[in-house]
Structure 1
Amino acid sequence: MAPAPEAGGVFALMNVVGLVAFAMVGSLKAADADLDLFGVAVLGVLTALGGGTVRDVLVGRVPGALRSTGDVAVALLGVALAVLLARRVRGRLLDHPLLLAPDAVGLAAFAATGALVGHEAGLSPFGVVALATLTAVGGGSLADVLLSRVPVVLREEFYATPAVLGGALFWLAESVGVDPSAAALGCAGLVLGVRLLALRRGWDLPSP
C-alpha cells in the first residue's frame, strides 16, 4: 500500500521534510520545558514519527519507522538541528519563529503524505481528508500530551483547519484528473500558505 511510483518521489520528499521539521518542533518544545537531552530526543522523535505511525496503522500497514531505520535517522537529524539552534536562542521558544516556521512546514508536508496514503488506500473523500489531518497533527498532539498541555489542535488556534483544507484540495484536484504528485504539492502549498497567513494575522477559530 505504498504510494504509486509516480507519486513516490513526492511522498519521499514530503516525508523527509515533515520528519525533520516536526523533530525540530518536538525538540524545541522539550527544550522550552527544560527537559534533559534524552527527553529532548524522545519528544523530538515522537513528534516526528507519531503522525505517520497513526496514518499507517489506520490503513493497515506496518509503520515506516518500524520497517527501516531511515525515518528514525532523519528524525534524529532534526533533533540535532534543534539542539544546535536552541543554544543560540534566549527566552521562551514556544512563540519564536524558530519553532513556528518548522511547525508550519511539517504540518504542510505531513498533510500531503497523509492525503497520498489515503488516496492510494482507496479511502473515501472523508477518509482522505481525515488521514491528511491526523498525519499532520498527530505527532504534535502526542508531544503536547506528554508535556501536560492541551493539544494545540483542541484549542481555538487556527491549526488543524489548514490541514483539513489541504486534504480537501488534494481530493478535489485528484478527482478531476490532476496527477497525485501535483495534487500533493498543491495540498502542501495551501496548508503552508494558510497556516503562515493565520500566524501573521492572528486568526483564531471562535470558541463557544
Structure 2
Amino acid sequence: MSDAFALMNVIGLLAFAIVGSLKGAEADLDLFGVAVLGVLTALGGGIVRDTLVGRVPLALRATTDVLVVLLGVALALVLIRRFGDLREHPLVVLPDAVGLAAFAATGASVGYEAGLTPFGIVVLATLTAVGGGSLCDLLLTRVPVVLREDFYATPAVVGGVVFWIAVSIAIPVGTATLGCAGAALVLRLLALRRGWRLPTV
C-alpha cells in the first residue's frame, strides 16, 4: 500500500504543481504568484484530505513533498519559456488529468486506511483530486472547474468507487489504488477526447 501511495502522491504533486503554475502564468501573475498557485494546487487537496481524517497533513511532515512541488514549479517555468501560451496544450491537459487520477487514488487509500465508509472513501478521493485546483481557481476569482466542467470531478468519483469495489472483493490495497488511478485517468482522457458533458439544469 505504501509503495502505491508514494507513487501516486509523487505523480499528483508534480502534475498539479505544473498545472497550477501554468494557470498563474496565464493570469499574468508575477514569479511569486505563479509559485504560490503551483504549491497550492499541488498541496491543497492533500491538506484537505489529511485534515478530514484527523492527522497532520503529509505536506507538513515530509520535506520530500515540498521538494517535488518546487521541482514541478521549476519545470512549468521552463515549459512556459519554451512554448509560451499553453492553455489548450497537451502539456497542460495531460498533467492535469494525471494529477486528478493520482490524487483520487491517494484520497481513496487514505480513506480506507482511516476506516471510512464506502461513501467516505469516495468523498475523500474526490476532494483530494479537486481540492487544490478549486482553491487555485478561487484565488484567481473564477468559478472552480469542478463546478462548471462536469466530467472533471466525475472521474475521481468513479475512481473512488472502483477502489472500494476492489478492496471489498479482497483485491490488495496497492492494486486497488492503481486501479482507482487507472479508471479515473482513462475516463478523464475519454471525456476530453470526446467532449463529454453531463446535462445542465
TM-score by length of structure 2 reads: 0.98
| Alignment correspondent of 1:123 | 116
Question: Within 5 A, what are the aligned runs for 1:42-121?
Answer: 42-91=36-85, 93-121=86-114
Cα distance in structure 2, aligned partners of 1:160 and 1:192: 11
Cα distance in structure 1, aligned partners of 2:195 and 2:83: 23
Give the residue type in structure 1 aligned to 2:111.
G
Q: Is the 8 A contact 1:128 1:171 kept in 2?
A: yes
What is the aligned-residue identity percentage?
A: 72
Structure 2 unmatched ranges of 5 or more: none
Q: Is the 8 A contact 1:156 1:206 kept in 2?
A: no
Superposed structure 1 runs of 4+ greater than 4 Å apart: none
Give the residue type in structure 1 aligned to 2:172.
D
Cα distance in structure 2, aligned partners of 1:143 and 1:156: 15
| Alignment correspondent of 2:145 | 152
Cα distance in structure 1, aligned partners of 2:78 and 2:70: 12
Q: Which has the higher helix share?
A: 2
Q: Offset at 1:156?
A: 3.6
Structure 1 unmatched ranges of 5 or more: 1-6
Q: Offset at 1:94?
A: 2.5
Cα distance in structure 2, aligned partners of 1:157 and 1:86: 28
What SS does the corresponding residue of 1:159 show, helix, strand or coil? Answer: helix
| Alignment correspondent of 1:14 | 8
Count of matched residue pairs: 201
For the aligned residues, what is the CA RMSD? 0.8
When structure 1 is superposed on structure 2, of 172-181 and 65-74 the one drifting more is 65-74
Cα distance in structure 2, aligned partners of 1:137 and 1:193: 17
TM-score by length of structure 1 reads: 0.95
Cα distance in structure 2, aligned partners of 1:128 and 1:172: 11
What SS does the corresponding residue of 1:61 show, helix, strand or coil? Answer: coil
Q: Offset at 1:96?
A: 1.9
What SS does the corresponding residue of 2:83 show, helix, strand or coil? Answer: coil
Give the residue type in structure 1 aligned to 2:52.
L
Q: Does 1:34 align with 2:55?
A: no
Give the residue type in structure 1 aligned to 2:169.
V
Q: Deviations over 1:62-102 (max 9, x none)?
A: 001111211111100000011100112233x3322111100
Q: Is the 8 A contact 1:156 1:207 kept in 2?
A: no
What SS does the corresponding residue of 1:88 show, helix, strand or coil? Answer: helix
